[in-house]
């Protein structure tokens, strides 16, 4: 029974009530008193207490939303890299202090309890983390939103580095990490694969019969998302595949037993594991099954929910926005067509009208190897009805193009969805969406100039930009509580919900007391991180050295290799002259490589052996230290980013669509060293040229150099510094030589140095030298840090979401 006291649990949350609620959970789930409980039991019971609060809050929000009516948005993404939930929820609800105190009275440390929570790795990197930041902001800003994704049993692999080699281990996060998830068997549905499509004529209409298909059950698991000081609670719905075959015992005796089990297993394989590669599509059929599984389950669910609330689909396109986060969920478009045509007897024109008013699409890359295509013959076998629908969308669309551009076959074939036996998912996404956006100013501009140029010419209004953002509460306030306290003290707490107010911090640029505070906070965060490193690796970091950090997926275009070359150059110089008086430097890396990505793994090996080489020379490692942290994930980022002095954002111009790590470092007072790529350009505009180290070629110069013919060896021959670094690859580190990397940079299989590390090397070293000089001027550096923080407000995902709500979804708050 719900008592009045219960209802007000959150508002009237006090120590006594909390203690009572926690004790009840401990008793009913584990049969222990708080005194007898273990940390893990405290963790689980605490989650259950928080869930109860959220369930009640959710019910209220649901009522308010229903009463208001209005539009809602569904955010579709194959990845949601949510990170741990407990701290975020306690802080958002404003009950963390009470929980901390109460636990402390019971003899537990809340910080230790936080560590009991596994960090779900349900994403590869930027795209998945963006989806999670967006759910946070949508909820904080009281927008009605639901996320849909897959409940992977195994998230992104756990990484170990053994003798320089990345070893992948399974991430079994569900084992006890699913306390937050609420299974909703009542909302499960069936998704069909394979089979054949038959047509018949009934009452003058063509009826579709899908036969001989295999059915998989989709079961949703709900995760409640809180916002900061907000009445809203939204849902992230994670879909799990289940076999529908019931077990036939008689088959056992007939020798069919194993076969039946095998079939069960193959159905459940669909949600077994997250594909660990980004920026590379392999065209694997299991990935296609995952994509359709998500799209079909989500759309059936969206329609069912809509009908339950409205009774008819009449106003569907006015009330619903469905956002496709990259092309991965693009099958939502033909799936909605299928449902409207085959199940609700819509005409093609009416169904298409609904689709083209409901879907919007964000592109996250223009790199050709990342643009998804499916082999049409294989696709047809797995999804015959969806294939038919795509063929018809393509037929009608190319017909329209023919009348617009008669005879212009080149253009029409570039814009078609089907071409050369392949299905082009980016084209399907553009054709089926009313709005398409890029993720930074530069990227959005490049989209309209390159991959989507033809579509842009046809309808410029279809294209827009929404620069990415980060959940600044998670990444600043919760990850860096000391900095948050300083901000509260100096500019007041309004920036917590109005990030643009961070700009008021600029007023303190000449306040020496504040600057000193800032540097003490950075030092404390470096100490906190150093304790963590000591615990994990046994290494003792020098807090007074500059922390120079590059953390992100390992990829050639992100150029961890350029960073390594710069380190090698500094290291060899130091070796030649060991008494060199220099600022001590600590280079920190963390990165996962896709398991099949050979070159990325070679770069990890290089960094690892540079590090181990230096470790063996005590005199040198006082001055230069390299640390590769294993298993980069959200939790590691939360402790590492606040400790950074220098933020490495050094992709080849034109390759990084936006980047979001750059924003996380900036808001924590790190200064960026970076190229004019992605959101670095906007960061540079925000902080001004004195508060960032920009180097290297810009996109026009990169293009020009490609056209002229880039010869890496020319750079090598011209630069003494560069030769020293590259030659060192040949002589090696800690007994390991890197001839493959040497060849990759200078001769290569196809083109040498495809991401132009050598072209940018000298300029990178000069920028680095400037940064090291400036770092030694404490006052100057602290001021730079302050300006970075003060100008980071526009990179809050609150701003991004307000732009999506206005420019794309036409969404209003509850």
User: What would you measure as the largest C-alpha separation in the chain, in angstroms?
Assistant: 92
Q: Which is nearer to ligand 26Q, 142 or 658 (CB)?
A: 658
Residue 152 and residue 80 in contact, taking contact as beta carbons nearer than 8 Å: no
57 is catalytic: no
Three-class HEC string of 50-117:
HHHHHHHHHHHHHHHHHHHCCCEEEEECCCCCCCCCHHHHHHHHCCHHHHHHHHHHCCCCHHHHHCCC
Q: Which is nearer to ligand 26Q, 127 or 383 (CB)?
A: 127
Q: Which is nearer to ligand 26Q, 25 or 559 (CB)?
A: 559
Residue 464 and residue 807 in contact, taking contact as beta carbons nearer than 8 Å: yes
For the CB of residue 394, give the shortest distance to ligand 26Q in the complex, in Å.
21
- For tokens 């209004």, the residue is 461
For the CB of residue 402, give the shortest distance to ligand 26Q in the complex, in Å.
31
Of the residues 57, 129, 558, 559, which is catalytic? 558
- For tokens 């992977």, the residue is 152
67 is catalytic: no
187 is catalytic: no
Query: Angle formed by the axes of helices 86-93 and 39-68, to 10°?
Result: 50
Of the residues 65, 552, 559, 783, which is catalytic? 552
For the CB of residue 181, give the shortest distance to ligand 26Q in the complex, in Å.
23
Q: Which is nearer to ligand 26Q, 69 or 596 (CB)?
A: 596
Which of these, 373, 367, 265, 298, lies nearest to 328 by C-alpha position?
Answer: 373
Phi, psi (rounded to 5 degrees) for 580: -50, 130
For 545, the token pair is 């050295």
Q: Which is nearer to ligand 26Q, 58 or 552 (CB)?
A: 552
For the CB of residue 441, give the shortest distance to ligand 26Q in the complex, in Å.
13
Q: Which is nearer to ligand 26Q, 132 or 430 (CB)?
A: 132
Residue 104 and residue 110 in contact, taking contact as beta carbons nearer than 8 Å: yes
269 is catalytic: no
Q: Which is nearer to ligand 26Q, 65 or 443 (CB)?
A: 443
For 310, the token pair is 């409205």
For the CB of residue 79, give the shortest distance to ligand 26Q in the complex, in Å.
6
Query: Would you say how long the chain is, in residues?
Result: 814
- Classify strands 182-183 and 165-169 as parallel, antiparallel or unpaired: unpaired
Which of these, 26, 30, 19, lies nearest to 103 by C-alpha position?
Answer: 19
How many Å apart are CA 422 and CA 215, to the nearest integer? 26
Residue 636 and residue 590 in contact, taking contact as beta carbons nearer than 8 Å: yes
Hey, what's the torsion of the CAs at 616, 620, 624, 628, to 10 degrees?
0
For the CB of residue 125, give the shortest distance to ligand 26Q in the complex, in Å.
5
For the CB of residue 659, give the shortest distance to ligand 26Q in the complex, in Å.
5
- For tokens 């910080």, the residue is 111
Q: Which is nearer to ligand 26Q, 77 or 624 (CB)?
A: 77
Listed in sequence order, the residues at least 6 apart from 210 whose beta carbon sits closer than 8 Å to its beta carbon are 192, 195, 196, 197, 198, 342, 384, 385
How many Å apart are CA 507 and CA 510, to the nearest integer? 8
Residues forming a β-bridge with 220: 239
Phi, psi (rounded to 5 degrees) for 127: -65, -45
For the CB of residue 325, give the shortest distance to ligand 26Q in the complex, in Å.
9
441 is catalytic: no
How many Å apart are CA 415 and CA 431, to the nearest integer? 9
Q: Which is nearer to ligand 26Q, 166 or 585 (CB)?
A: 166
Q: Which is nearer to ligand 26Q, 153 or 656 (CB)?
A: 656
For the CB of residue 321, give the shortest distance to ligand 26Q in the complex, in Å.
19
- In 3-state terms the chain splits into helix, strand, coil percentages (rounded to 5) of 55, 15, 30
Which of these, 355, 774, 455, lies nearest to 583 by C-alpha position?
Answer: 774
Q: Measured at CB, which residue is nearest to ligand 26Q? A: 126
For the CB of residue 370, give the shortest distance to ligand 26Q in the complex, in Å.
6
Which of these, 417, 4, 380, lies nearest to 193 by C-alpha position?
Answer: 380
C-beta atoms surrounding 173 within 10 Å: 20
Q: CA angle at residue 427 from 422 to 428, to 5 degrees? A: 85
For the CB of residue 361, give the shortest distance to ligand 26Q in the complex, in Å.
13
- DSSP letter at 173? T
For 13, the token pair is 């949350």
Residue 151 and residue 240 in contact, taking contact as beta carbons nearer than 8 Å: yes
How many Å apart are CA 602 and CA 438, to the nearest integer? 32
Binding site for ligand 26Q (CB under 6 A): 124-127, 130, 275, 277-279, 281, 287, 364-365, 370, 372, 439, 468, 656-660, 678
Of the residues 281, 660, 672, 699, which is catalytic? 660
Q: Which residues of 179-198 are buried (b: 16+ CB within 10 A; e: fewer)?
A: bbbeeeeebbbebbbebebe
Q: Which is nearer to ligand 26Q, 364 or 605 (CB)?
A: 364
Of the residues 242, 364, 655, 768, which is catalytic? 364
For the CB of residue 277, give the shortest distance to ligand 26Q in the complex, in Å.
5
3-state secondary structure of 643: helix
Q: Which is nearer to ligand 26Q, 242 or 279 (CB)?
A: 279
For the CB of residue 129, give the shortest distance to ligand 26Q in the complex, in Å.
8
Which of these, 225, 235, 121, 137, lies nearest to 469 by C-alpha position?
Answer: 137
Residue 302 and residue 76 in contact, taking contact as beta carbons nearer than 8 Å: no
How many Å apart are CA 623 and CA 636, to the nearest integer? 25
558 is catalytic: yes
Of the residues 553, 621, 625, 799, which is catalytic? 553
Which of these, 206, 189, 198, 239, lies nearest to 80 by C-alpha position?
Answer: 239
Q: Which is nearer to ligand 26Q, 631 or 656 (CB)?
A: 656
Residue 786 and residue 669 in contact, taking contact as beta carbons nearer than 8 Å: yes
Known catalytic residues?
A: 364, 552-553, 558, 660, 664
């Amino acid at each position: 029974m719900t008592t009045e006291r219960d209802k007000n649990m959150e508002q009237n949350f006090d120590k006594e009530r909390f203690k009572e609620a926690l004790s009840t959970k401990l008793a009913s789930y584990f049969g222990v008193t708080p005194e007898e409980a273990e940390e893990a039991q405290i963790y689980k019971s605490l989650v259950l207490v928080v869930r109860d609060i959220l369930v009640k809050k959710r019910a209220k929000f649901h009522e308010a939303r229903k009463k208001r009516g209005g539009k809602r948005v569904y955010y579709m993404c194959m990845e949601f890299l949510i990170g741990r939930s407990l701290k975020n929820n306690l802080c958002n609800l404003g009950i963390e202090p009470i929980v901390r105190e109460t636990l402390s009275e019971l003899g537990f440390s809340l910080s230790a309890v936080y560590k009991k929570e596994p960090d779900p790795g349900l994403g590869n990197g930027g795209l998945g983390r963006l989806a999670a930041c967006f759910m946070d902001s949508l909820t904080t800003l009281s927008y009605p939103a639901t996320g849909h994704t897959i409940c992977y049993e195994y998230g992104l692999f756990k990484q170990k580095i053994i003798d320089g080699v990345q070893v992948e281990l399974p991430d079994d996060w569900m084992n006890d990490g699913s306390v937050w998830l609420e299974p909703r068997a009542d909302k499960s549905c069936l998704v069909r694969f394979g089979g054949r499509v038959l047509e018949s004529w009934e009452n003058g209409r063509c009826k579709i019969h899908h036969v001989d298909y295999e059915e998989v059950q989709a079961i949703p698991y709900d995760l409640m998302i809180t916002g900061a000081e907000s009445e809203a609670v939204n849902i992230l719905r994670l879909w799990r595949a289940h076999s529908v075959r019931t077990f036939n015992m008689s088959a056992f005796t007939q020798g069919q037993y194993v076969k039946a089990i095998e079939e069960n297993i193959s159905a459940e394989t669909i949600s077994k594991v997250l594909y660990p590669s980004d920026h590379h599509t392999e065209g694997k059929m299991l990935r296609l099954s995952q994509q359709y599984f998500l799209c079909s389950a989500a759309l059936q669910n969206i329609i069912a929910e809509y009908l339950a609330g409205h009774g008819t689909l009449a106003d569907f396109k006015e009330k619903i926005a469905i956002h496709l986060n990259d092309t991965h969920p693009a099958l939502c478009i033909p799936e909605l067509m299928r449902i409207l045509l085959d199940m609700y007897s819509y005409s093609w024109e009416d169904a298409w009208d609904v689709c083209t008013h409901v879907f919007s699409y964000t592109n996250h890359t223009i790199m050709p190897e990342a643009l998804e295509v499916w082999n049409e013959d294989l696709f047809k076998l797995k999804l015959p009805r969806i294939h038919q629908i795509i063929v018809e969308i393509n037929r009608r669309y190319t017909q329209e193009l023919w009348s617009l551009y008669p005879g212009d076959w080149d253009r029409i074939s570039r814009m078609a969805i089907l071409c050369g036996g392949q299905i082009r998912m980016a084209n399907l996404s553009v054709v089926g969406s009313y709005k398409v956006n890029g993720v930074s100013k530069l990227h959005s501009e490049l989209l309209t100039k390159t991959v989507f140029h033809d579509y842009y010419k046809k309808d410029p209004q279809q294209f827009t930009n929404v620069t990415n953002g980060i959940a600044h509460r998670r990444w600043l306030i919760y990850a860096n509580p000391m900095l948050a306290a300083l901000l509260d003290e100096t500019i007041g707490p309004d920036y917590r919900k109005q990030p643009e107010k961070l700009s008021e911090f600029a007023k303190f640029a000449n306040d020496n007391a504040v600057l000193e505070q800032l540097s003490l906070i950075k030092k404390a965060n470096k100490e906190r991180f150093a304790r963590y490193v000591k615990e994990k690796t046994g290494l003792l970091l020098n807090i007074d050295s500059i922390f120079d950090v590059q953390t992100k997926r390992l990829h050639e275009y992100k150029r961890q290799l350029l960073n390594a070359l710069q380190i090698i150059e500094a290291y060899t110089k130091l070796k030649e002259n060991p008494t060199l008086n220099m600022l001590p430097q600590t280079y920190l890396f963390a990165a996962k490589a896709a398991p099949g990505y050979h070159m990325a793994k070679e770069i990890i090996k290089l960094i690892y052996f540079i590090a181990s080489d230096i470790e063996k020379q005590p005199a040198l490692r006082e001055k230069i230290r390299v640390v590769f942290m294993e298993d980069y994930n959200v939790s590691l980022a939360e402790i590492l980013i606040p400790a950074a002095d220098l933020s490495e954002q050094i992709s080849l111009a034109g390759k990084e669509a936006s980047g979001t790590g750059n924003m996380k470092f900036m808001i924590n007072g790190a200064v960026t060293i970076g190229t004019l790529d992605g959101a670095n350009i906007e960061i540079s505009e925000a902080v001004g040229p004195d508060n960032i180290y920009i180097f290297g070629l810009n996109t026009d110069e990169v293009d020009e150099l490609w056209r002229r013919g880039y010869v890496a060896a020319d750079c090598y021959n011209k630069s003494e510094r560069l030769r020293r670094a590259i030659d060192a690859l040949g002589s090696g580190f800690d007994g390991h030589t890197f001839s493959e990397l040497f060849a990759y940079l200078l001769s290569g299989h196809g083109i040498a140095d495809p991401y132009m590390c050598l072209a940018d090397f000298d300029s990178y070293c000069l920028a680095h030298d400037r940064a090291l000089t400036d770092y030694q001027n404490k006052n100057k550096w602290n001021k730079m840090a302050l300006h970075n923080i003060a100008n980071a407000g526009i990179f809050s995902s609150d701003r991004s979401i307000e732009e999506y709500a206005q420019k794309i979804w036409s969404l209003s708050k509850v």
